[in-house]
Amino acid sequence: MPLRIGETFAGYRVLRLLGSGGMGEVYLVQHPRLPRQEALKVLRADISSDASFRDRFIREADLAAGLRHPHIVGVHDRGEHEGQLWISMDYIDGTDLGQLLEQRYPAGMPVELVLLIANAVASALDYAHKKGLLHRDVKPANILVADLDTDDPNIYLTDFGIARPLDDTNGLTTTNMTVGTVAYAAPEQLMGEPMDGQADEYALAATTYNLLTGTQLFPYSNPAVVISRHLNSTPPALGDCRPDCARLDDALQKALAKFPADRFASCSAFTQALTAASPGQAGASANATTQAAGQPRSPASAIGGELTTKPAHRSRVVLSAVGVIIVVIGVIAVLWRPSQPAQSNTAVIASRTDSTTTTGTTTPPPPPPVATTTTRAPTVTEAVLPVHPPANSGCTGSVTAHYDFQHPQLGPMRIFLLLGENRVRMDSGCVSVVLPSGDALSPISLDAGLGLGFAAPPTDATGNLFIEFRSMSAHAPPQVLVLVPTASGFDQLGRDLIDVELVGPGADGKYQLRHSMNDCTPSCAEGTWTHETLRWNGSDYVA
């Protein structure tokens, strides 16, 4: 149970509760010997007794205690008292950015303040990376600001509770868990892949977007949907929410690239490019930003080089079961991500058939069209697929995602999703199916002006492929296009049903379609809604 005010814990006298979370509480305490106040983090007894959490907590203190930086909350001591682990650190008399957004800047912070914060946090992260540490949980709630209304606000990065050495690939939980907050986590972190400083850079970029707009990068309540968007969707354009910040979008998109190699070389390189693109700063000399590491940077002085290219848009797909903060990977049937693109205009991907051995390329294979439960390893064969749709594909616009699909009759194919520049057109979205020969099947046009993406997961136990798109309200459930493999390509189902959303997959591994209907009596606004569940019968979805 929480400690009482005035109670003594491990020699520290409790002054008040500062905050609480899933792992324990943080208290303002009086140091037992020195005339100063500190913040004391105390783990719950049940968590303290868990060996994996215990090891992570101890590692947090040991790693963070070695960090000395003006923008990192310092750690002083750690220990155990009456079965509960604790750690003492600097007390910052301020507020975290999550609270600041909610209470003071619900529509987003001033650009100058965000740049000041981003540059300070970037400096702290680069310092930690040079020390061999990743933070792995950069988000507004872990950034503190004090003296906000002065000319020199103090900014601190806190909670290295899931930090670990850069070369630690085993993790600190178990092999079936990934820690971190999914709203800001990099794709490689969500996939449980090796990480470097670019993972923190991605999280800083997602945090920066949140600070500028007042909303998260992918503001969905279902963590599985958020994960899908991180892996598979183009980040929203900053200018759509903040037209005055449209010039910052190139830097932000680069830092939010799906693959680490496509991001900036460091967190500070990202924030300097962001600052250089800010109003009144574009074109200024990058030499003007030279400062000692760890010094606060003002928005006017942190100036970097301008960007000349936009990051390529690639896709990742994941099927996950998610907790509030911990993503449980053990229940995942299939995980897939595309390989890094080759230097030529083709890429090697893998198709799969069941076998008891694995041979051939080391590129992770795409999921089979039928997600059967098996412990056997697949045989991997190579197929060469184009990186882009051919010029005569019938689709125009920018590629936002692609997925490699093993068609039961036609074999391996790459399916591209494209969005046109004019989002109000009825054919603003397009699906292009490309074969290894470079030939494309007939294009599929969609009214997808508000978004287009693969479902998560894209296929289910039926072997069908599921695409979600939005043509109306961004707040309504996405519409569904179901591609059913045939001898000549695909049949299209679901696209003409306006009020249909995807449900599942269920215990049988299959999606269902939930169809909603309004009798519009006496009017559609006052009508009665009824709902029916459509299930796959082998050839169609029926009630």
- Residues belonging to the active site: 137
d(CA 192, CA 188) in angstroms, rounded, equals: 6
| Number of residues written out for the chain | 543
Strands (E), 104-242: 133-134, 143-146, 154-157, 164-165, 177-178
d(CA 216, CA 207) in angstroms, rounded, equals: 8
Residue 65: how many other CB atoms lie within 10 Å: 16
DSSP state of 72: B
Kindly tell me the burial class for residue 107, based on how many C-beta atoms sit within 10 Å of its own C-beta (0-12, 13-18, 19 or more). exposed
Please state, in angstroms and as integers, the Cα–Cα distance from residue 453 to each residue in 72, 235, 399, 506, following that order.
38, 12, 11, 21
Radius of gyration of the chain (CA): 25
159: nearest Cα among 93, 74, 81: 74
| 288 Cβ contact list (under 8 Å, min separation 6) | 301, 303
d(CA 306, CA 328) in angstroms, rounded, equals: 40
Strand (E) or helix (H) holding 225: helix 223-232
- Tokens 């000399």 sit on residue: 285
- The b-or-e profile of 152-183 (16+ CB within 10 A means b, else e) is ebbbbbbbbbbbbebeeeebbbeeebbbbbbb
Amino acid code (one letter) for 214: G
- Tokens 């303040």 sit on residue: 113
The widest CA-to-CA distance across the chain, in whole angstroms, is 80
d(CA 337, CA 227) in angstroms, rounded, equals: 13
Alpha helix ranges (H) inside 31-74: 45-48, 51-64
Distance of alpha carbon 323 from the chain centroid: 15
| 63 Cβ contact list (under 8 Å, min separation 6) | 133, 160, 163, 164, 165
Kindly tell me the burial class for residue 429, based on how many C-beta atoms sit within 10 Å of its own C-beta (0-12, 13-18, 19 or more). buried
Please provide the distance, in angstroms rounded to a whole number, between the alpha carbons at the two ends of the chain.
51
DSSP state of 65: T
Question: Hey, is 239 helix, strand or coil?
Answer: helix
377: nearest Cα among 365, 387, 390, 389: 365
